[in-house]
């Protein structure tokens, strides 16, 4: 019974069986019609096309929940002031010029720390990635450093460098260089050895090899390290600015805590968040432009 109905629907002489009310006969033409449209009828396994402005969706949702909670009186304003109160406070701080000057000081520390940290991480990763001796000397100490939290180093750094700017920049740099080193080094080590062979057969010199093969090959790793580094720089900043600082966003927040100004603390938090988000976005833009040769799931 079933055999006759299948042959008749796919075959050419099927009019008689088509007329009968067999379930498989009714199903078959539907399947054929679906197949005509591209990609229908098959579930896509990759994440699909990017959502436009998708990056803003999560943060906006969070803001909406915060606003709704405050508007409905669910949050105690002393613990969590409303978004508009925080915005007003931010406006006042800007008008007084305090926010800008604190921000400038913080930004300077973060950038200096980032600069030294990235430079150190990059140089160490190159030395360690390009020579076995370099790796033997450098990799161990870096892994040890990685196991020691930056916070735990602060007492020592204060004794060595005092409580001034040097200590702050050094702490940030020490936090930054580790991810840059780890990811760049990993990027270097995972460059396919076949490319090194190719470089030998086209007779590239040591420097040309580094320029054409090693650096571009390690770039994805380096940029991933950079994303950890920029957010890491702001994190380290929070810590150093709440220890013996007299300026900076962290100091502003620490002072606000003493006076119970929750709104100022929130302004500081929002500023930190925005800084992290913006700097991460910057690295991602660089990433997209520099790695346009790749085709990945991210698109």
Residues that bind another protein (CB under 8 A): 194-195, 197-204, 208, 212-213, 216-217, 219, 291-295
Q: Rounded to an integer, what distance in angstroms lies between the CA atom of residue 75 and that of residue 292? A: 46
Q: Rounded to an integer, what distance in angstroms lies between the CA atom of residue 253 and that of residue 260? A: 10
Q: Which residue, 42 or 289, has its beta carbon nearer to another protein?
A: 289
Least separation, in Å, of the C-beta of 195 and another protein?
6
Q: Which residue, 116 or 195, has its beta carbon nearer to another protein?
A: 195
> Which is nearest to 264 in space by CA: 283, 276, 274, 251?
251
Least separation, in Å, of the C-beta of 198 and another protein?
5
Q: At what angle do helices 215-241 and 249-259 cross, to 10 degrees?
A: 30
Could you tell me the sign of the dihedral formed by the alpha carbons of 13, 18, 22, 24, in that order? positive
Phi/psi of residue 80, nearest 5 degrees: -140, 95
Least separation, in Å, of the C-beta of 126 and another protein?
17
> Which is nearest to 6 in space by CA: 168, 95, 23, 60?
23
Q: Which residue, 204 or 269, has its beta carbon nearer to another protein?
A: 204
Least separation, in Å, of the C-beta of 216 and another protein?
4
Q: Which residue, 44 or 295, has its beta carbon nearer to another protein?
A: 295
Q: Rounded to an integer, what distance in angstroms lies between the CA atom of residue 97 and that of residue 164? A: 23
> Which is nearest to 80 in space by CA: 262, 299, 270, 271?
262
Q: Which residue, 109 or 183, has its beta carbon nearer to another protein?
A: 183
Q: Rounded to an integer, what distance in angstroms lies between the CA atom of residue 36 and that of residue 44? A: 17
Least separation, in Å, of the C-beta of 139 and another protein?
22
Least separation, in Å, of the C-beta of 211 and another protein?
11
Least separation, in Å, of the C-beta of 291 and another protein?
8
Q: Which residue, 43 or 203, has its beta carbon nearer to another protein?
A: 203
Give Cβ neighbours of residue 72 (< 8 Å, ≥ 6 apart).
Answer: none
Q: Which residue, 143 or 190, has its beta carbon nearer to another protein?
A: 190
**Geometric angle at alpha carbon 34, from 33 and 38, rounded to 5°:** 120
Could you tell me the sign of the dihedral formed by the alpha carbons of 69, 74, 79, 81, in that order? positive
Q: Which residue, 96 or 200, has its beta carbon nearer to another protein?
A: 200
Least separation, in Å, of the C-beta of 298 and another protein?
14
Q: Rounded to an integer, what distance in angstroms lies between the CA atom of residue 154 and that of residue 134? A: 28
């Amino acid at each position: 019974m079933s055999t006759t109905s299948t042959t008749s629907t796919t075959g050419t002489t099927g009019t008689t069986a088509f007329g009968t009310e067999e379930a498989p006969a009714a199903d078959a033409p539907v399947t054929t019609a679906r197949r005509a449209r591209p990609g229908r009828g098959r579930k896509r396994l990759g994440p699909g096309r990017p959502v436009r402005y998708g990056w803003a969706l999560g943060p906006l949702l969070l803001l909406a929940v915060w606003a709704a909670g405050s508007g409905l009186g669910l949050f105690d304003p002393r613990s969590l002031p409303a978004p508009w109160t925080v915005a007003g406070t931010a406006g006042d701080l800007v008008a007084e010029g305090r926010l800008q000057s604190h921000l400038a000081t913080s930004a300077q520390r973060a950038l200096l720390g980032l600069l030294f940290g990235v430079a150190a991480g990059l140089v160490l990763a190159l030395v360690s990635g390009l020579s076995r001796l370099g790796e033997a000397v450098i990799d161990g100490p870096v892994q040890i450093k990685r196991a020691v939290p930056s916070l735990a180093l602060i007492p020592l750094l204060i004794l060595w460098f005092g409580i001034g700017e040097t200590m702050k920049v050094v702490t940030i740099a020490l936090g930054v260089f580790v991810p840059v080193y780890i990811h760049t080094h990993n990027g270097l080590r995972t460059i396919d050895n076949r490319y090194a062979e190719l470089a030998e057969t086209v007779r590239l010199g040591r420097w040309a090899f580094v320029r054409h093969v090693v650096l571009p090959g390690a770039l994805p790793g380096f940029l991933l390290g950079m994303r950890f580094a920029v957010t890491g720089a702001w994190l380290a900043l929070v810590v150093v600015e709440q220890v013996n600082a007299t300026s900076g966003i962290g100091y502003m927040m620490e002072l606000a805590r003493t006076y119970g100004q929750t709104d100022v603390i929130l302004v500081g938090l929002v500023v930190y968040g925005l800084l992290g988000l913006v700097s991460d976005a910057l690295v991602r833009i660089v990433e997209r432009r520099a790695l346009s040769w790749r085709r990945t799931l991210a698109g």
